Amino acid sequence: MPNAMTRTILLALISLLGAVVLSACSGDDGTQQQTASQAAQEAVERTERQQTEAQQTQQDQQAQSDVAEAQAQQSAAADAAPRERGTFRIARAEPINLDPAQITDVTSAVIAVEIFGGLVTLNRDLQIAADIAESVPGPQINDDGTVTYRFTIRENAQFHDGKPITADDFKWSFERNLNPETLSPTAPDFLGDIVGAAEFVRGRADEVVGIQVIDERTLDLTIGQATPVFLYKLTYPTAYVLDREQVEADPERWALNPNGTGPFKLAEWTLGEGLVLERFDEYHVEPARVERIDVRFAGGSVEQYENDELDQAFIGINDIERVRDPASPLNAEYISRPELSIFYLAFNVSTPPFDDVNLRLALAHAIDKTTITQEVQADLLIQARQIIPPGLAAHDADYPGLVFDPELAAEYLAASRYAGTPLLDDVRLTISGAGATPGPSIEAIQDMWRQHLGLEVEIQQVEFASFISDIDRGLYGFFSLGWSLDYPDPHNVLDYKFHSASLGNDVGLDDEAIDSLLEQARYSLDQELRTGLYQQVDRQLVEDAVWIPLYYSVAHELVKPYVQDYEPTRMVIPHLRYVSITE
């Protein structure tokens, strides 16, 4: 599901392009998964309404915090408290919800992954690694075609309060998250492969039969058929283990002070201001190297970094030129890394006039991405010619995509069946935000459509709190958004966003040929075959202009020289335990 991001790791980019989303993808389209997804739809909609109210409150708090932050900047350098020994100081957006079953946003996930854990995780190389399980199990093929994974819980794994983690804890957590009363918008997707999940979601079973406790430390998970992405899905927060006693004692408020299992404990959370993570010394792997993470919600600017209020900061367009200057003292502390996320323009292809491929192609060929990337964005982002981002095997660096060609764009517009009709006078692009202007990149694209096609495209801004739910309901025919992958596989974006039966299909696509290719890739264990299938789907989507890929995101950061083993992550993974401070 798309996220409810206010300010994320990509803080510096929001003003350029709008929101970036953390996917909560599904895509498994067997009868079992379809049933689970359909049963979850009403729960998803109720959750969105609840999140809208919570997000609006948080946005109000954030606005107040931003004002206070601006007022404090003048005296920040003089008044800043010195960094405490063993403390890493960072700025992030305030989490919306730390209940792993409810997390669909980057802002919550970047904190939750440090507090909670699951059977497996993604390491810094984005490989599946053991977490609470002793090892990553291989699949056992059963006579009926189902596949079982047997997990052994580490003997020393425990909750932050010292209680040992058992197989029963995982079974209860999975079933709690799948229970429709939990209103999880992600569990039916990430846990829906498990045999019996669909029946449980629909209230037709008292338990998920594919989750079997063998003994206190042994858990079997059985899925309907082999798929290369099942273990990836178990790295997502909705598969984290929870403390049943705590959750049942206070179902509404437990996540404000969760009893987690991760490398850090939530020690303080001051709403609207910040939170503190403290090292969990009994962590089942190697304990964190820093004693404390101080997270400030407001700011995160280069100015705060220069004032020694932060040990790490994100770089925006106003500072990138001087930071890149080799003569700048900041240049030696500058690091950058491409991320597995993409910004794009999307069409609801079932809605006139965007059901006409010629109109979509006209709008796509009229965009000069090179000019925008180099001149408007100061090379903060990477130009995108396809959907699958660099770093995945299915990304084809030689594929040209839809090139900037104003003459061809005009020809496509003339060939549109809507040419000369009033519908072209009312083309509207909807973006998230509430600013006086939509941002320089969107304005530049709007000018290109005006210049090359003679189209006056209206830009409609909508508060992000309602933007995502409106898209899910098909209220916008043309919109701008972003997608951040949850795991490094094309399934996480192509299958979830474009399969006709997926809850994430917000473009109204119903293409049997694409569905067939996606289903082959979904269950194939031949990586070369999967790569070819996903490349074929990607090209078809681009050449039909279902999405217009714009840019891949890049992390641009400053890190103090005394901070060791910190590196930008390509996606949301637990990574702060590796950081150390040279005192």
Residues paired with 556 in a beta bridge: 336
The mean pLDDT value of the chain amounts to 88
Q: Which of 126, 44, 71, 146 is nearest to 472 (CA)?
A: 44
Q: What does the pLDDT average to over 361-378? A: 96
pLDDT number for residue 13: 41
pLDDT digits (tens, 9 = 90+) for 286-305: 999 999 999 999 877 899 99
pTM value is: 0.84
pLDDT number for residue 504: 85
pLDDT number for residue 46: 39
pLDDT digits (tens, 9 = 90+) for 64-118: 444 344 444 433 433 444 567 799 999 999 999 999 999 988 889 999 999 999 9
pLDDT digits (tens, 9 = 90+) for 405-423: 999 999 999 999 999 999 9
pLDDT at 337 over 70: yes
Q: What does the pLDDT average to over 357-373? A: 97
d(C-alpha 377, C-alpha 374), whole Å: 6
pLDDT number for residue 502: 87
d(C-alpha 472, C-alpha 2), whole Å: 9
- 220 compared with 43, residue with greater pLDDT: 220
pLDDT digits (tens, 9 = 90+) for 188-213: 989 999 999 999 999 999 999 999 99
pLDDT number for residue 83: 61
Q: What does the pLDDT average to over 391-414? A: 97
pLDDT number for residue 185: 87
Name the H helices within 378-508: 406-415, 440-453, 464-472, 494-498
pLDDT number for residue 61: 44
61 CB-side CA count, 13 A: 19
pLDDT number for residue 247: 98
- The set of residues, in sequence order, having a beta carbon less than 8 Å from that of 314 and lying 6+ positions away, is 9, 10, 11, 12, 91, 300, 555, 556, 557
pLDDT at 445 over 70: yes
Q: What does the pLDDT average to over 371-400? A: 96
> Hey, what domains does the chain have and what are their CATH numbers?
338-555 (3.10.105.10)
